Amino acid sequence: MVKRSTSATTITLIPGHSENSTEGGDDLNSAMPDYNGKCLDAWFVADAVTDLPDDLQTVREMRKHLPEYDEGLRQYRLANQIELSFSTPDGRNVTGPSITLETNANEKPSYVAVEGEESEENVIRDIIERDDLDWFDGKSKLRADVTNKRFESDAVRENVNGIEGVRASVLFGGSDTYIEILRKKFYELGPTEFLETTGMDVEVVPAFIVQPPTMYTFLELAVMADGTKLARVWDVSRYPKHYLYVDERKRDETDFEEGSRLSGGEWRQNENANERFGQWALEEQDLRSPFSPHTRSGYEQYVDHVTSFGPYPAMTYGEDGEELTAAAVASHLPPLFPW
């Protein structure tokens, strides 16, 4: 009896540099537009690194330290994980009772912190510190909002050219809890009263408060009895950067282009990180996001369409087995939607 076991993990990172000037950073090192100096940092502030190590355990132990907080914060935003294992008596068949599926569904989300130095103008901090509002209970650090943003399949048995295997998928996302609360208040109060209450200008209420965007990955893992492994990340949010780890090692990653500054050192207005930030904010309102107001079937049709041409899946990694190839398994198995 042989045991097959494989794990796949996606890590979502906001690449960027330190904002802590006491440690050589720059308070302009934000990962989002500053909207005329009225920054809505929080979820969008950079993770203070521009790349991640090859070893997943090292990634999980990394922490960024900010002068505002005693506790170190994770240097990534989301981790989406699948672990599959089973026994096979002959390298061709799966022993059903031996199948196990584990995910990190119970892992606490990363913190959303109102980062940026005290001297930096920050709309969120201003609202938190007001005595007449209790929207955030005075907290400048909250867990990311992952409510209704996780879908997980069961372990599904498959057969490819007479070889049995198992696969599973998880679609997981998160958003800025502060922005989610602002969205709720925006609709409760209406635009006019919301602006009067917060003191925001019209141009400082961007689209992502009306419909907050979600960082997410759609991860699928397949393991066959002959040892073939195939991890596919069918879809990711356009922003920010995502990594794929298989068996704790970095295997693939998405592209991310850092923004640029003007000759005077300031960021280009409303283009701090890159133009995909704006595209990402708008994406939440159409079929390209699994968390959009539209139906799941609309998202399935979108994924089925984009996977018919490059560059999808967004990330992938495979290892050939004793009889099958990862490419053969990929051609036989369409996306496994986890709902």
pLDDT score of 230 more than 80: yes
Type of residue found at 126: D
Q: What share of the chain is helix, strand, coil (3-state, %, to 5)?
A: 20, 30, 50
Location of structure tokens 């998880």? 170
Which residue from 148, 313, 334 is spatially nearest to 235, judged by alpha carbons?
313
Spatial separation of the C-alpha atoms in residues 145 and 176, rounded to whole Å: 6
Confidence tier at 172 by pLDDT (50, 70, 90): very high
Spatial separation of the C-alpha atoms in residues 276 and 14, rounded to whole Å: 13
Spatial separation of the C-alpha atoms in residues 200 and 123, rounded to whole Å: 8
Q: What is the pLDDT of residue 328?
A: 97
* Lowest-confidence region among 16-30, 38-52, 94-108, 269-283: 269-283
pLDDT score of 31 more than 70: no
Give SS3 for 214: coil
Say what angle helices 177-189 and 191-198 make with each other, to 10 degrees.
120
Q: How far apart are the first and last CA of the chain?
A: 33
Q: What is the pLDDT of residue 257?
A: 66
Bond prior to 53 in cis (omega within 30° of 0): no
- CB neighbour burial string for 37-70, b if at least 16 within 10 angstroms, e if fewer: ebbbbbbbbbbbbeebeeebeebbebebebeeee
Nearest 5 degrees, angle CA 320-CA 323-CA 327? 45
Contact 94, 3 (CB under 8 A): no
Q: What is the pLDDT of residue 332?
A: 96
Q: What is the pLDDT of residue 167?
A: 98
Location of structure tokens 């913190």? 111
Q: Give whichever of 82-91, 195-204, 258-267 has the largest mean pLDDT.
A: 82-91
Q: What is the pLDDT of residue 271?
A: 43
Confidence tier at 318 by pLDDT (50, 70, 90): very high
pLDDT score of 276 more than 60: no
Q: What is the DSSP string of 91-134?
A: SS--EEEEEEEEE-TTSPPPEEE--S-TTS-BHHHHHHT-TT--
Contact 218, 236 (CB under 8 A): yes
pTM to 2 decimal places: 0.88
Which residue from 209, 218, 208 is spatially nearest to 280, judged by alpha carbons?
208
- Containing 184, the helix (H) or strand (E) segment is helix 177-189
Each residue's pLDDT tens digit, 98-147: 999 999 999 999 888 776 555 556 677 788 888 899 998 888 888 999 99
Which residue from 333, 330, 325, 321 is spatially nearest to 2, judged by alpha carbons?
321
Cα 229 off chain centre by: 23
